[in-house]
């Protein structure tokens, strides 16, 4: 089942390779939408069939390189299934959004289909090497998306992105090898490593392994101070690329914390949880403050990602703190962290697609150059307004459910840090509303004053963005279907980290 | 006393058809909002009718609910609807609390809300200000937002836990944001809307922290469990929670130090000012403290902080109100000040909870009436708000004048009108505190009454009496003023509110009707201690001070000529009051500028720090990066370096934490 979900897009890509580019762009975009929709349907079916026990489901294990302890081992639990679902939903949204793509359509579609397989594969991988292969391939895929379909200084930004995250992934590999060597018998299997806990007791060796893995994941998340690749990559990436980068690729970092760093190095994690909490809070505040001073809409959204991911890091850090030994609160924090990954995927994905609309109409992200767009484009203004309010944590939207759980769960174990992190929701409210005010209110002004004015949302744009928003509202009002899946798994994780 | 009250008044499950379907109250306006905002132009013709109908229907339902519960021996009911955030440790239910406190709010919100919805049909019919679409499109959007507000406000007062309250709390914040910024083409409106939301968010952070603390200490956020187990909290935690809740109340209710957003909120259409920024939303802070009364009763420090905030705010509001010439801003500061009275009252503990709610209700009538009256004046005066350009208007708009005058008399506490009963009761209770607190809080409240009479008399004299200063003036677009009375769709709601301004106080007070009704939710009203002043003297003192204030206003404004141009040579006190007692300047200096400065500084660090460090350490890294330089040397170096720096910092941090 999982392998079908993961490899369906790749199989479709393989078929499409044979179709000549002259067949017309409709063939490619149309089949992309169809495949993405079919894949999402499969994920929904897997969700319905998922047993709420908190264990691994749809597990499959085939030998791959037995001599090195590497196997093709996949499966999902409550921590990964929601991310698989968000990935499938976002790729479908991007497919619909890209129906109007005109530039080198065939390779664009092939690349995204490949990226989808890579992303889904990562969230289902239960083997470190498999995880690492997907992790690296995602970087390569995104590099080409930015470099070939980006704008501005696309090549440079793409290279920056590539080098930075690639170096990060090398650190990750080092850490994985460290784990492998410590295990007896040597293995890369995540389930086996969780069970045997080869680095029990921490010590320096464990600390170094955690450092390597932590740096690798922190670059991808990204947390301060490893975030500097993110703003240029986002600014110059095409809209669909940005949406996938923020919505899916960033989650690979935070997912790594809950899938690998915490359960495989529980003692070391507890020992250094304080550092993680501090990094989380710094990311929350630093991301918000720097976003406050941005003039470029897309850069601003990119920095709010640093802020939002900071909450996730805070939560996983607080979950490792032994001080407030209330296991339930710490489990709540982890549930909140996973919910935040889902919520951020949906909302920031939507925000980047909306930024794409801005660029499509007037080739600029400069907030100072726009004004009064609510007049000519009321639907665009209304949808952006809703996404912005959802993003700043208004109750009734998914962001509130996530941040509420994270902060309520973290307050006990990490009181001061949580109180400081709350200031972040204050600053994000200020900066996002300031952006709304500048772009949408006042007399209408559009950079370059195009004759056509500013066209409101087109059908393909509405059809791609509004469903993401609708999902965020569904999770905000009736989050039970999601929380029931996540919670048993986060309780299991806390059990592993605590023992 | 609180614990005994809880033992006496257990919370029971909702019973009967009316109570088990009470969610209809919220669903009606919510549905209205959804339809109005999603239906598009097709709804232009009937949008306003639907908007009014949903709120009127909710009012009808509220009345039925109220009447059916009157004879109930167990008036505190809980209605479970669904499990909202069901996580093992945190069970947040979505449900409704139906008790006397929430029901009086339901009636206020839907009753006054209905009148203001109807008034808006006329007020928004010819809306020309900063509009982007056609007049009917704009009016439909307006009614959609107004319905959304009513729904959110009902969630706020009906929710049966702190998280549901927070949902409504932020919901009304959103509606308020949308309505303050309703005239989208006005830059100032957008700025005011943003300011309102962000300043409210400061309070929201306090409220959120209080909720998290409750969760961390008690493991629950539902009212029933929190209040039943309030005595498990240590006094330090109780103090923290009550202070944080107070911060939340300050934000929503425009109390010092978070008062500066409320006057700016007058950028919204006047019905919005009447409904949201006078009668209902801004009183949410009072509701919050009254609702959390079992917590406040256990914390003397928390209560004292509440009374101090109330006393300071009521004076600040009065003083600034004396200096403004903009009719809506005077009324806005008057609101700030009157809510100060309510906050003062609920800060007095069991001696004041019910009094605060009573003043909240009477104020809801007369302040909404005053705002609608001001709107009617503006409607007839080409949207002019400067009272220096009014004068002698009573002849041109008689109904507006009479209803406004009744609201005015009620507000300044003219004997036997609404405000007389409700405000006087608060002043008496404040004096009843004994010792220094009695003198300070009672004195502030009495002084406030005198100042209130001054600024309100000044407003009435400048608007309705004296020479017609507008005769020789033209509007900003060069048109002559043609003052005229408003249509019936506007005057009828004003008349109804005026009836409330006259009679509500006596009705509530007679036979202790309201206080007795609220007892199951707020506890027995405690009689004051031996006060610092004899009981009989206080009404005399209050009325005397009010008369003095009114007289002073007549001496300053009524007897003398009012200049159209604002006099510039004024005393430092007036200058300070005109500058909002420097509230905005303080915010700017203490919050806005440092935050902006910090943000800019961090941007510099972010964009230049890496490159700068690279230049400095180029030699150090030169060898390491030599092989990669053929690609794009600058980038490789800078990123390798920043990763290296990050790694060093991390190692240092890990050593610092990991070492015993």
Q: What is the dihedral of CA B622, B627, B630, B632, to 10 degrees?
A: -60
What is the extent of the structural domain holding B42? 1-298
CA B396 to chain centre: 33
Residue B386 lies in a domain: no
Beta carbons of B602 and A156 less than 8 Å apart: no
Q: Partners of B99 in the beta sheet?
A: none
Instruction: Give the single-character DSSP code of A451.
Output: T
Q: Is residue B206 part of a domain?
A: yes
Q: Mark yes or no for CB contact B640/A487 under 8 Å.
A: no
Contact A229 B639 (CB under 8 A): yes
Q: Give the pLDDT confidence of B354-404 residue by residue, as tens digits.
A: 999 999 999 999 999 999 999 999 988 888 888 888 888 888 999 999 999
Q: Do B86 and A483 touch (CB under 8 A)?
A: yes
Separation CA A213–CA B657 (nearest Å): 18
d(CA B555, CA B654): 73
The predicted-structure confidence for A415-474, as pLDDT tens digits, reads as follows: 899 999 998 998 999 999 999 999 998 888 888 877 777 888 899 999 999 999 999 999
The Cα of B288 is separated from the nearest Cα of chain A by a number of Å equal to 18
Please indicate if any CB of chain B lies within 8 Å of the CB of A335. Answer: yes
Q: Which helix (H) or strand (E) holds A394?
A: none
Peptide bond into A225 cis (omega under 30): yes
Q: Is B85 close to A412, i.e. CB distance below 8 A?
A: no
Per DSSP (E only), the strands in A326-426 are: none
d(CA B358, CA B483): 36
What pLDDT is stored for residue B531 in this prediction? Answer: 66
Chain B residue numbers touching A479 (CB-CB < 8 A): 84-85
User: Would you call A293 and B602 a contact, using CB atoms and an 8 Å cutoff?
Assistant: yes
Of B132, B133, B216, the CB nearest to A329: B216
Residues 6+ apart with CB under 8 A from B436: none
Would you state the structure tokens that stand for residue B313, as one six-digit string?
């705010």
Q: Does residue A76 sit in helix, strand or coil?
A: strand
Question: For residues A122 and A7, is the Cβ–Cβ distance under 8 A?
Answer: no
Could you tell me if B245 and B312 are in contact, meaning their C-beta atoms sit under 8 angstroms apart? no
Give the separation between CA A48 and CA A37, rounded to whole angstroms.
17
Give the integer Cα–Cα distance in Å for A480 and B92. Answer: 11
- Chain B hits for A386, CB-CB cut-off 8 Å, are none
Of A283, A308, A342, A280, residue with least CA distance to A428 = A308
- CA of B137 vs chain A CAs: smallest distance (Å): 12
B86 with A484: Cβ contact below 8 A = yes
**Residue B25 and residue B154 in contact, taking contact as beta carbons nearer than 8 Å:** yes
CB neighbourhood size of B611 (10 A): 15
Pairwise CA distance, residues A270 & A146, whole Å: 38
> For A274, which of B202, B598, B657 is closest by C-beta distance?
B657
Interchain pair B654, A225: CB under 8 A: no
Q: Which helix (H) or strand (E) holds A300?
A: helix A297-320
The token pair that represents B277 in the structure block: 């920024």
The answer to whether B413 and B542 are in contact (CB under 8 A) is: yes
CA distance B344 to B280: 18
Chain A residue with Cα closest to B602:
A290
State the average pLDDT over residues A473-491. Answer: 93
Conformation bin of residue B395: beta by default, left when phi > 0, alpha when psi is -120 to 50: alpha
Q: What is the structure's pLDDT at B655?
A: 55
Provide the pairing of β-strand B12-13 with B77-86.
parallel
Q: Pick the residue of A78, A395, A405, A470 with the most B CBs within 10 A to test the interface with B by mutation.
A: A395
**What are A61's strand-pairing partners?**
A73
- Stretch A186-191: mean pLDDT: 91
Pairwise CA distance, residues B452 & B333, whole Å? 10
The H-assigned helical ranges of B254-397 are: 261-264, 270-274, 284-291, 293-297, 300-321, 327-347, 353-380
Tokens 């490893």 sit on residue: A226
Q: Do B166 and A374 touch (CB under 8 A)?
A: no
Q: Residue A153: beta bridge partners?
A: none
Q: Which of B202, B213, B654 sits opposite A411 (nearest CB)?
A: B213
Here the ipTM equals 0.91
From chain B, pick out residues whose CB is under 8 angstroms from the CB of A436.
194
Alpha carbons within 13 angstroms on the beta-carbon side of residue B55 total: 32
What pLDDT was estimated at residue A22?
Answer: 83
Report CA Rg, chain B.
Answer: 27
Residue A275 to residue B657, Cβ atoms within 8 A: yes
Structural tokens at position B609: 């720090």
Nearest CA in chain B to A209: B651
- Residue A411 contacts B, CB cutoff 8 Å: yes
Give the count of domains, chain B: 1
Element holding B165 (H helix, E strand): helix B162-180
Mean confidence (pLDDT) of chain A = 91
Question: What are the Cα distances from residue B200, in Å, to A398, B245, B584?
Answer: 21, 13, 15
Calpha distance B280→B274 (Å, rounded): 9
Both tokens of A498, joined, read 């605590």
User: How many domains does the structure of chain A reveal?
Assistant: 1
CA–CA separation, B259 and B196 (whole Å): 10
- In this prediction, the residues of chain B whose per-residue pLDDT falls under 70 are 1-9, 126-134, 528-531, 608-660
Using CA coordinates, name the residue in chain B closest to A372.
B185
Strand intervals (E) in B345-455: none
What is the arrangement of strands in the sheet containing B91-98, beginning at the earlier edge strand? B12-13, B77-86, B91-98
Q: Residues of A numbered 280-299 whose beta carbons fall under 8 angstroms of chain B's beta carbons: which are they?
A: 286, 289-290, 292-294
Q: Are residues A230 and A165 in contact, defined by beta-carbon separation less than 8 angstroms?
A: no
Rg (CA), chain A: 21
- Cα-to-chain-centroid distance, residue B515: 23
**What band does A260 get if pLDDT is binned at 50, 70 and 90?**
very high
Chain B residues within an 8 Å CB radius of A396: 167, 170-171
Cβ distance B599 to A293 less than 8 Å, yes or no, reads yes
Q: Which residue of B81, B156, B206, B599 is the best one to mutate when testing the A interface, meaning the one whose CB has the most A CBs within 10 A?
A: B599
Residues 6 or more apart whose CB falls under 8 angstroms from that of A416 comprise none
Of B181, B600, B610, the CB nearest to A228: B610
* B176 contacts in chain A (CB < 8 Å): none
Cβ contact A228–B642 (<8 Å) = yes
With 70 as the cut, is the pLDDT of residue A312 above it?
yes
- Cβ(A415)–Cβ(A321) below 8 Å: no
What are the percentages of helix, strand and coil residues in chain B, rounded to 5? 75, 5, 20
Give A418's contacts in chain B (Cβ within 8 Å).
212
Q: Which structural domain, as residue segments, surrounds residue A281?
A: 2-498
SS3 A123: helix
Cross-chain Cβ contact A289/B599 below 8 Å = yes
Q: To probe the interface with B, which of A54, A146, A288, A293 has the most B CB atoms within 10 Å? A: A293
Tell me how far apart the alpha carbons of residues A180 and B215 are, in angstroms, rounded to a whole number.
41
Quote the pTM value: 0.90
Query: In chain A, which residue's Cα lies nearest the Cα of B634?
Result: A160
A233, A408, A444, best to mutate vs chain B, most B CBs in 10 Å:
A408
Please choose, from the candidates A239, A262, A225, A271, the residue with its C-alpha nearest in 3D space to the C-alpha of residue A468. Answer: A239
> Cβ B88–A328 below 8 Å, yes or no?
yes
Contact A412 B167 (CB under 8 A): no
By Cβ distance, the residue of A408, A425, A429 closest to B215 is A408
pLDDT digits (tens, 9 = 90+) for A335-393: 999 999 999 999 999 999 999 999 988 888 889 889 888 888 889 999 999 999 999 99
Domain presence at residue B615: no
d(C-alpha B170, C-alpha A403), whole Å: 15
DSSP B268: S
What's the token pair of residue B289?
């403290």
Judged by CB atoms closer than 8 Å, whether chains meet at A395 and B167 is answered as yes
* Distance in angstroms (rounded) separating the CA atoms of residues B205 and B251: 10
- Which of A230, A433, A439, A487 has the highest number of chain B CBs within 10 A, making it the mutation to test binding with B? A433
Q: Is residue B14 part of a domain?
A: yes
Element (H, E) at A125: none
Q: Do B88 and A331 touch (CB under 8 A)?
A: yes
Tell me whether residues B190 and A441 touch, CB distance under 8 A.
yes
Chain A residues in contact with B614 by the CB 8 A cut-off are: none
Q: Is B330 a member of any domain?
A: no
- Give the A window 177-216 contacts with B, CB below 8 Å: 207, 211, 214-215
SS3 readout for A169-225: HHHHHHHHHHHHHHCCCCCCEHHHHHHHCCCCCCHHHHHHHHHHHHHHHHHHCCCCC
Respond yes or no on whether the N-terminal peptide bond of residue B257 is cis (omega within 30° of 0): yes
For residue B584, give how far its alpha carbon lies from the nearest alpha carbon of chain A (Å). Answer: 16
Residue A7: burial class (beta carbons within 10 Å; 0-12, 13-18, 19+)? middle
CB A83 within 8 A of CB A255: yes
Asked if the bond preceding A185 is cis, omega within 30° of 0, the reply is yes
């Amino acid at each position: 089942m999982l392998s079908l979900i993961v490899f369906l897009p790749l199989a479709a890509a393989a078929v499409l390779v044979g179709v000549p580019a002259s067949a017309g762009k409709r063939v490619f975009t149309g089949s992309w939408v169809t495949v993405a929709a079919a894949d999402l349907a499969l994920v929904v079916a897997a969700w319905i069939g998922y047993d709420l026990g908190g264990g691994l489901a749809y597990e499959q294990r085939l030998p791959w390189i037995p001599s090195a302890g590497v196997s093709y081992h996949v499966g999902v639990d409550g921590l990964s299934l929601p991310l698989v679902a968000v990935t499938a939903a976002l790729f479908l949204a991007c497919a619909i959004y890209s129906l109007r793509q005109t530039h080198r359509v065939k390779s664009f579609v092939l690349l995204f289909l490949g990226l989808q397989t890579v992303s889904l594969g990562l969230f289902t991988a239960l083997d470190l090497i498999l995880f690492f292969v997907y992790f690296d391939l995602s970087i390569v895929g995104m590099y080409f998306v930015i470099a070939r379909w980006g704008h501005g200084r696309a090549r440079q930004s793409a290279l920056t992105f590539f080098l930075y995250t690639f170096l990060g992934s090398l650190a990750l590999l080092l850490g994985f090898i460290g784990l492998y060597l410590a295990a007896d018998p040597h293995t890369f299997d995540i389930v086996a490593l969780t069970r045997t806990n080869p680095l029990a007791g921490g010590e320096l060796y464990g600390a170094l392994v955690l450092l390597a893995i932590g740096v690798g994941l922190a670059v991808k998340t990204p947390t301060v101070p490893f975030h500097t690749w993110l703003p240029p990559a986002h600014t110059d990436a095409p809209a669909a690329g940005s949406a996938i980068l923020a919505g899916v690729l960033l989650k690979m970092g935070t997912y790594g914390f809950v899938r690998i760093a915490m359960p495989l190095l529980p003692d070391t994690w507890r020992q250094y949880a304080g550092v993680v909490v501090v990094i989380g809070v710094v990311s929350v505040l630093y991301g918000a403050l720097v976003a406050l001073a941005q003039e470029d809409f897309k850069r601003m959204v990119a920095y709010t990602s640093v802020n939002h991911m900071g909450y996730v890091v805070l939560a996983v850090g607080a979950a490792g703190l032994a001080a407030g030994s209330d296991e339930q609160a710490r489990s709540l924090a982890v549930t909140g962290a996973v919910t935040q990954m889902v919520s951020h995927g949906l909302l920031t994905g939507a925000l980047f697609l909306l930024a794409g609309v801005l660029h499509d109409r007037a080739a600029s992200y400069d907030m100072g150059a726009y004004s009064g767009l609510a007049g000519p484009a009321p639907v665009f203004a209304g949808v952006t307004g809703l996404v912005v309010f959802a993003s700043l944590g208004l109750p009734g939207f998914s962001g509130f459910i996530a941040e509420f759980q994270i902060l309520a769960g973290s307050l006990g174990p990490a009181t001061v840090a949580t109180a400081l992190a709350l200031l972040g929701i204050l600053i994000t409210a200020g900066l996002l509303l300031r952006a709304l005010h500048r772009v949408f209110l006042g007399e209408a002004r559009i950079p370059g004053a195009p004759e056509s004015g500013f066209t409101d949302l087109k059908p393909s744009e509405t059809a791609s963005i509004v469903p993401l928003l609708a999902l965020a509202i569904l999770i905000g009002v009736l989050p039970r279907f999601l929380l029931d899946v996540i919670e048993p798994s986060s309780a299991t994780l806390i059990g592993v980290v605590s023992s | 006393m609180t614990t005994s009250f809880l033992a006496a008044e257990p919370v029971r499950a909702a019973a009967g058809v009316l109570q088990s379907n009470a969610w209809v109250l919220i669903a009606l306006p919510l549905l209205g909002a959804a339809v109005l905002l999603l239906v598009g132009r097709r709804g232009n013709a009937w949008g306003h009718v639907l908007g009014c109908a949903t709120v009127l229907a909710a009012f009808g339902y509220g009345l039925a609910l109220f009447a059916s519960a009157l004879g109930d021996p167990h008036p505190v009911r809980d209605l479970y609807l669904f499990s909202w955030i069901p996580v093992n440790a945190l069970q947040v239910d979505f449900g409704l609390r139906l008790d006397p406190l929430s029901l009086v709010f339901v009636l206020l919100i839907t009753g006054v809300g209905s009148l203001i919805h109807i008034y808006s049909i006329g007020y928004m019919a010819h809306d020309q200000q900063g509009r982007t679409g056609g007049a009917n499109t704009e009016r439909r959007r307006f009614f959609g937002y107004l319905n959304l507000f009513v729904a959110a406000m009902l969630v706020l007062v009906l929710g049966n836990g702190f998280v549901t309250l927070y949902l409504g709390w932020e919901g009304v914040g959103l509606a308020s944001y949308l309505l303050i910024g309703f005239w989208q083409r006005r830059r100032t409106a957008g700025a005011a809307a943003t300011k309102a939301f962000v300043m409210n968010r400061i309070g929201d952070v306090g409220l959120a922290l209080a909720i998290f603390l409750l969760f961390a200490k008690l493991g629950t956020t539902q009212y029933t469990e929190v209040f039943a187990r309030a005595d498990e909290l240590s006094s330090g935690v109780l103090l923290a929670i009550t202070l944080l809740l107070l911060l939340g109340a300050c934000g929503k209710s425009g109390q010092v130090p978070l008062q500066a957003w409320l006057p700016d909120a007058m950028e919204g259409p006047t019905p919005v000012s009447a409904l949201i920024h006078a009668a209902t939303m801004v009183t949410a802070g009072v509701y919050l403290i009254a609702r959390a009364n079992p917590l406040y009763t256990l914390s003397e420090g928390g209560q004292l902080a509440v009374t101090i905030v109330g006393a300071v705010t009521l004076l600040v509001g009065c003083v600034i109100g004396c200096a403004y010439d903009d009719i809506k801003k005077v009324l806005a500061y008057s609101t700030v000040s009157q809510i100060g009275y309510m906050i003062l009252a609920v800060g007095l503990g069991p001696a004041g909870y019910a009094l605060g709610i009573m003043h909240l209700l009477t104020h809801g009538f007369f302040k909404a009436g005053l705002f609608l009256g001001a709107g009617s004046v503006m409607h007839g005066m080409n949207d002019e708000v400067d009272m220096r350009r009014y004068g002698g208007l009573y002849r041109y708009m008689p109904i507006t004048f009479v209803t406004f005058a009744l609201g005015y008399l009620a507000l300044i506490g003219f004997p036997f009108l609404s405000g007389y009963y409700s405000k006087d009761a608060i002043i008496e209770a404040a004096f009843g505190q004994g010792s220094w607190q009695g003198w300070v809080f009672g004195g502030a409240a009495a002084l406030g009454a005198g100042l209130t009479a001054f600024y309100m008399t000044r407003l009435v004299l400048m608007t309705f009496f004296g020479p017609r200063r507008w005769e020789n003036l033209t509007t900003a677009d060069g048109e002559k003023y043609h003052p005229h009375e408003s249509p019936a769709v506007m005057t009828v709601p004003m008349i109804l509110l005026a009836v409330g301004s006259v009679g509500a106080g006596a009705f509530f007070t007679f036979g202790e009707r309201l206080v007795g009704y609220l007892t199951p939710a707020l506890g027995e009203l405690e009689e004051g201690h031996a006060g610092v002043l004899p009981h009989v003297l206080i009404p005399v003192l209050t009325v005397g001070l009010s008369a003095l204030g009114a007289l002073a206003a007549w001496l300053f404004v009524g007897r003398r000529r009012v200049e159209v141009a604002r006099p510039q040579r004024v005393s430092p006190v007036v200058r300070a009051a005109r500058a909002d007692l420097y509230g905005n300047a303080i915010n700017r200096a203490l919050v806005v500028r440092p935050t902006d400065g910090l943000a800019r500084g961090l941007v510099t660090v972010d964009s230049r720090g890496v490159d700068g460090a690279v230049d400095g350490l180029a030699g150090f890294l030169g060898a390491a990066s030599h092989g990669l330089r053929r690609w794009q040397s600058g980038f490789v170096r800078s990123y390798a370096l920043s990763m290296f720096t990050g790694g060093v910092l991390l190692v240092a941090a890990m050593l610092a934490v990991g070492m015993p």
